[in-house]
Amino acid sequence: MKGDPNNGKLPEERQLVTVLWATCLAVLLFLYLFAMLTVCKARLSPSDITANWFEAWGTWAGGLATGAAFLIAAFSIAVASAHARVDRQEAARIRENNDMAQARLLVIYKVEMPNGIESLATFRIENRSKDVFFDVSVPFVDSPTDSSTGYERRTPELVEAENRLHEFIPTAQLLTGYRDHNQHEAWFTLVTVHTADWRRIRFAVDYTDSGGRRWRQHLDGGIEPVYTTEAIPVREADRFQPPQQLKKMSAAEAWRAGGRFAKDFIPPESDEEFLEILEVPTVALWRRIELDGQPVVRSGEDTPGEIAVKVTFAPAGPPFWKDHFGNKLDEAGFRLTAGNSNGQSETQELRCPVDMAAQVSELLAEAIEYANDRFEGYELAAAQRALAARRRGRA
């Protein structure tokens, strides 16, 4: 307080001053008593003023001095300790302030968009520093409602599961340095939620700065450290993760490829599964497959006793049809060596024993008819039923 002589002093310093004043008063009082008693005794009984008189008072003076010195020393140590404590607290405050220097550069604010939808609140989370922030997440957003609790809690998992239109809550995002332009514009992210009153929205952002310190910043600007001895849990790949060059085939993709690709998958059972594999255009535009020209037969120079057969049919065989066709060829004695398709037709290169040369055209035609009949009678029929059910559902 202004004018207060103790303003800015530590309690220990004020206590030391009190002890010093008390010591001075005690010394003055002792000297006054010594002088007064000595004068009185000299008048009343001069013979008693001897060396013993002064020795006794000296003993008392020594004791008083020792006690005063002890008190002054003790309170001086207390003052020194208090100053050390204050210095440590100030150093800790400065260190905490320095540690928070980057954390303060994560900025959260409401975005005002002209002609925007008032009920869709958008908040922007920006990295205004030159270093990255890791694992930027909003665990939940509380949006005001008229319910008994007064708010609805929305989490990233809930928004994704319910496929809420235009809503987004970030999770485990990496924010690059301020205005570090790249294809992702990743120095900021957004929180968008439907709400009746955006001023009562409540959420906090958890994040890790470039020094590995964890923080939580509230929408009102308050920042608090998050102390943890645990590593950040494994997250899904973020938007910077390059696409895998290899990926596991789905069951539908495996059945489309046919042959050895589909041998370990459970055969489809429902009509809808057959439609997913064959796809709508194949089912809707299906026409029976036929030979495209006569098979080309030549001798197999590298395989004595066999001939090479090149056969073309159109259109290209769909999934399942190829398996029926291949099974029939195997049964007849043909061996597939190569094949290719241009989307409109398909060409296969086969080998078979020489004694089958005269029957090649007939056997291939039979295999194609067999595959057509089997395909139309089972897989295509199931897919057509599913397609018809879809159309009825939209009607």
Considering the domain architecture, whether residues 370 and 266 belong to the same structural domain is answered as: yes
Q: Are residues 95 and 141 in the same domain?
A: no
Residue 358 CA, distance from chain mean position: 68
| Contact call for residues 123 and 111 (beta carbons, < 8 A) | yes
One domain for residues 130 and 92: no
Helix (H, G, I), strand (E, B) or coil at 332: helix
Q: 124: which strand partners?
A: 109, 190
Q: Are residues 262 and 346 in the same domain?
A: yes
241 part of a folded domain: no
- My answer on whether 340 and 373 are in the same domain is yes
323 located within any domain: yes
Is residue 243 a part of any domain in this protein? no
pLDDT on residue 182? 65
Contact 310, 302 (CB under 8 A): no
Mark whether 221 and 284 lie in a shared domain: no
Instruction: Check which CATH number belongs to the domain holding 195 and give it.
Output: 2.60.40
248 domain-assigned: no
Last residue of a domain, one of 47, 74, 102: 102
What's the structural domain count of the chain?
A: 3
- What span, in angstroms and rounded, lies between the C-alpha atoms of 349 and 340? 9
188 in the same domain as 148: yes
Q: Is the residue at 375 inside a domain?
A: yes
- Average pLDDT for consecutive 10-residue bins of the chain (395 residues)? 57 84 87 84 80 83 85 84 84 83 93 80 93 92 84 88 84 86 77 88 93 92 89 68 71 77 79 87 89 86 84 89 89 88 87 89 92 92 90 78
Q: What is the DSSP letter of 267?
A: P
Look at the chain and count its residues: 395
Beta-bridge mates of residue 312: 347
Question: Which helix (H) or strand (E) is 76 found in, with range?
Answer: helix 51-103
Q: Is residue 329 part of a domain?
A: yes
Rounded CA-CA distance 88/154 in Å is 43
Residues 202 and 290 in one domain: no
φ, ψ of residue 264 in degrees (nearest 5): -100, 5
Given a contact cutoff of 8 angstroms between Cβ atoms, the answer to whether 146 and 220 are in contact is no
Residues 96 and 141 in one domain: no
The partner residues of 309 in beta bridges, in order of sequence, read: 297, 350
Residue 245 domain-assigned (yes or no): no
Based on the fold, state whether residues 284 and 341 are members of the same structural domain: yes
Residue 244 carries which DSSP code? P
Judged by DSSP in three states, 324 sits in helix
> Same domain, yes or no, for 75 and 153?
no
Q: Which of 102, 136, 154 is the last residue of a domain?
A: 102
Residue 310, strand partner residues: 296, 349
The number of helices, as runs of H, and strands, as runs of E, in the chain is 9, 15
Whether 173 is in a domain gets the answer yes
Same domain flag for 51 and 181: no
The model carries a pTM of 0.49
CATH number at residue 377: 3.30.70.260
Can you tell me whether residue 251 is helix, strand or coil? helix
Instruction: Name residue, tokens 């020795």.
Output: 55
pLDDT of residue 46: 81
Cβ–Cβ < 8 Å for 110, 122: yes
Residue 97: partners with Cβ closer than 8 Å, 6 or more residues away: none
Residue 336 belongs to what domain range? 254-394
- The DSSP 8-state label assigned to residue 137 in this structure reads E
Q: Which of 78, 102, 126 is the last residue of a domain?
A: 102
